[in-house]
Chain A
Amino acid sequence: MNRLDQLEAQSIYILREAFNRIDKIAMLWSLGKDSNVMVWLTRKAFFGHIPYPLMHLDTGLEFPETYAFRDRYVKEWGVKLIGDPCPPLDTIDDTLPPASRVAARKTAGLKEAIEKYQFDGIFAGIRRDEQSMRAKERVFSPRNAEGTWDFRDQPPEFWDQYKTDYPAGTHIRIHPLLQWTELDIWRYIQREEIPLVPLYFAKNGERFRSLGEIGITFPIKSNAATIEDIIAELEVTRTEERAGRAMDHESEDAFERLRADGYM
């Protein structure tokens, strides 16, 4: 087994473990590259089926290409979509820096959806190599009744034994891609021919390396128009993947605050 085979097998194990151990579960589908890999792994894990709903936390601020992608693959893959709109900006904590405040709408939308549909588990496609707070995450990461992350006191996790016992009113975030790197994701997309929103591929010398909402996500300068180009670019880059995500860089602890409050 090569590295991609190992990562794939590990992620499938996690997906199946959560599907079996957790009562009501949904998968976050941001429509970005990582969550598409997660959906793809779901189809592998369950032999072509997607046995839980995919949840798109819709701020209304996605790029048009992103919405077009969603509508197409909901049909093609037989997705059961939950796409409730996120609460408006004026309901969000106004002490947060501006971009974080926009991002926090997703957290609020997620909390609403968990409440409304009574989910016990949520799959999220975060990776340890993206960001140093995410590097400290668990595969099965408990959230308390308020949806917050107690990152100072996380459960032990070893030998592929995960936290699957939890009191009522709390939920578990499950992170099947935690161990993947950005390059792993792209190599897997290449190997499996996984469809993507076209914004990842360079047009007029620019492309999105990390895809978020209009206004708080910015493209990088790049001529990488194919997956092969992107892999070649990533192999030599010195820039962080989320450099184009404004909310990560507003203050030293901006992202820590967002995540503690339940952001993905």
Chain B
Amino acid sequence: MADSVVKLTTPPQATQHVPGMKDLLRIVIVGHVDHGKSTLVGRLVYETDSLPEGKFEQIKAMSDRRGMPFEWAFLMDAMQAERDQGITIDTAQIWLKTKGRDTVIIDAPGHKEFLKNMVTGASQADAALLVIDADEGVKEQSRRHGYLLHLLGVRQVAVVVNKMDLVKYDAARFQEVEREIRTYLGSIGVTPAHVIPVSARDGDCIKEGSAKMPWYKGPSVVQTLSLFNPIASLSDLPLRFPVQDVYKFDERRIIAGRIECGRLSVGDTLIFSPSNKSAKIKSIESWSSKPGHHNPLTAVAGQSVGITLDEQIFVERGDIVSHLQHAPVETDVFRARIFWLGREPLKKGGAYKMKLGTMEAPIRIQEIERIIDTGDLRALSSDEVERNQVAEIVIRSRRMLALDAFNDSPRTGRFVIVDKFDIAGGGIISMEGYADQRELITQRSTNITRVEHAIPPEERWRRNGHKGGVMWMTGLSGAGKSTIAVKLEQRLFEKGYHVYILDGDNVRHGLNANLGFSPEDRAENIRRVGEVAALFARSGMIVITSFISPYRSDRDRARAAASDVFHEVYVAAELATCESRDPKGLYKKARAGQIADFTGISAPYEAPEEPEVVVDTAAASADECVDALVEYVERTFRI
């Protein structure tokens, strides 16, 4: 049995370059405190004959000194404090000499207080063993660790039901525990390779099957380890090469970094995001003491390399290098599922620093959408994420970021959050509901020159009798934007203003007829309206726009287009109020699932932070709101 398993998994390239050199598999042992993780590690080391000379005697002496029976955990629990308290504080590693390949066993603490150390250990692993006490069953940290493994990207998992001796090797009890953990893991998308009943202390089912549990027909722990594989190379994904540094030690200007995924070759055209500059690879630099050494022509994921370019464009640490096709997302807002390890809770509205690859950026927590209870997966609502909690949040950055959705490109789809001096959390990115803004900020035309107008804006204002500008109405569907816009236009027109409405549905008949409702198309819709509104304003007119325009990034771009004549009008009304009005019957359709990504229901509405005007259509009538706006226009657009 054991032999056939080993044969199956002998890695084919293990001996490719260096004779006798084996591949390495990293396994983390996780689970609730006191369920016997360190004991399992000790036993694995013993059973695989990996214990150094004299170590057994050393552990025995340490156990005797404390008046304890032989304690396997002392092999990994190197700190006095760990041995005295019988608890693992920090993660540790030990190397097993297994047939075919080497295995590193990473022991992770199970105590809630040391979750940051569990994360440290587990994040390095190719695969995990989740240990559960047969007597105690599935506990708080069993579930939380299972959840975190998934979030950390560890996809190969087996469950070890330990201390079977305490339940008299009872098959029924084992099946009960197995059912419970399989159900939980299944609900978060994890399928354990095997669930194995063991007694780590006595060595049952560690190396081979156990006579005490003849009812168990599956593989032992050691056999299960041999079924796991080192994490596959990411060289088949699109190229992601985060710039780590730019060196000028000699005449070469070398851009250094590690290829996170994909591959690159001399001659490739690269794009640097988010600066969107482009250049070709002139050389891949390398150093060797050996005579006759040549620089490579190609490099793949995992390699730390340095390249030179054919053009001296400005490149800086944090840029993500890709090919022109399949470039990363560019955005200043994204969703994330995070775990929080900080001493202080993560706060809504709080300012932090994020690190993604080699990039660092100041960020703000725009929204804490839900806290996820890792015990029963309930969603809770809160303005704070406490230590050891998992949450879904929205993060905003002041500047444009290059990143990926985790599911598209895992290495550039994950990040950490730094609170003051400490890494306090980690997360994986989702762009659901948010647009890739790359197209919106990319200028494709070249060789263009601006023509200066001969008529200064003041001349136009004087003829019209008022300044030009944009009244940008934003609010939920049904908040009353169109009603107010139409009334406002009429009132201003009667007063002699040059005024015109740009309305959401109207522009989609013409100017934006080629746009759909994907996040990117919605963003492009608003970009065009923003540009058109700015042109109207510069021509001396007052333009009233009436669009939900739910995203801050889009409104900020419209503001930038019109610069100082942009006036954001927040047409405020509670979601419930808007839904009860439902003038176009859209909420009903959205609730019925007939409209995807409907703002307020299944897509976010990001309320303005500092609008010039707020009108509350729930508290005031439409006419009262219009009165307020007319007063605002008369005051603000006066020459």
Contact = CB atoms under 8 A, between A and B. Distances in A.
Given A165-B421, A239-B53, A45 B93 contact: no
Contacts of B422: 155, 163, 165
A4 B18 contact: yes
Contact of A152 (B81, B95, B122, B244): B81
Contacts of A49: 249-250
Contacts of B285: 47
Contacts of B95: 129, 181
A1 B21 contact: no
A13 interface: yes
Contacts of A4: 17-18, 21
Nearest to A14: B304
A151 interface: yes
A154 B90 contact: yes
Nearest to A133: B78
B358 to A, nearest CB: 8
Given A46-B247, A128-B93, A135-B92, A155 B423 contact: yes
A24 interface: no
A3 B249 contact: no
B287 A238 contact: no
Contacts, number: 166
Interface in A3-32: 3-6, 8-10, 12-13, 16-17, 19-20
Contact of B152 (A45, A158, A243): A158
A141 to B, nearest CB: 11
A96 to B, nearest CB: 16
A166 B421 contact: yes
Given A16-B244, A158-B152, A2 B252 contact: no
Using C-beta atoms within 8 Å of the partner chain, give the interface range for chain A.
Answer: 35 or more
Interface string A219-253: 00000000000010001001110010000000011
A2 B317 contact: no
B90 A136 contact: yes
Nearest to A128: B93
Given A47-B285, A151-B90, A165-B420, A20 B244 contact: yes
A161 B93 contact: no
Contact of A193 (B51, B78, B289): B289
Given A2-B21, A43-B287, A47-B252, A152 B62 contact: no
Interface of B: 13-14, 16-18, 20-24, 51-55, 62, 65, 75-76, 78-81, 89-95, 102, 116-117, 119-120, 122-124, 152, 233, 244-245, 247, 249-250, 252, 254, 256-258, 285-287, 289-290, 300, 302-304, 306, 317, 341, 353, 355, 358, 414, 416, 418, 420-423, 426
30 contacts: A2-B18, A3-B18, A12-B304, A13-B258, A16-B257, A16-B304, A17-B358, A20-B317, A43-B287, A47-B247, A47-B252, A47-B254, A48-B287, A49-B249, A128-B92, A128-B93, A136-B79, A136-B91, A136-B92, A154-B120, A155-B423, A159-B416, A161-B355, A165-B420, A166-B421, A181-B95, A191-B18, A193-B290, A238-B52, A239-B52
Nearest 4 pairs of A and B residues by beta carbon: A158-B123, A132-B78, A156-B116, A12-B304
Given A43-B287, A49-B249, 18 more contacts: A1-B300, A2-B16, A5-B303, A45-B256, A46-B247, A47-B247, A49-B250, A129-B93, A136-B90, A138-B120, A154-B117, A156-B423, A158-B120, A158-B152, A158-B426, A161-B416, A163-B423, A252-B62
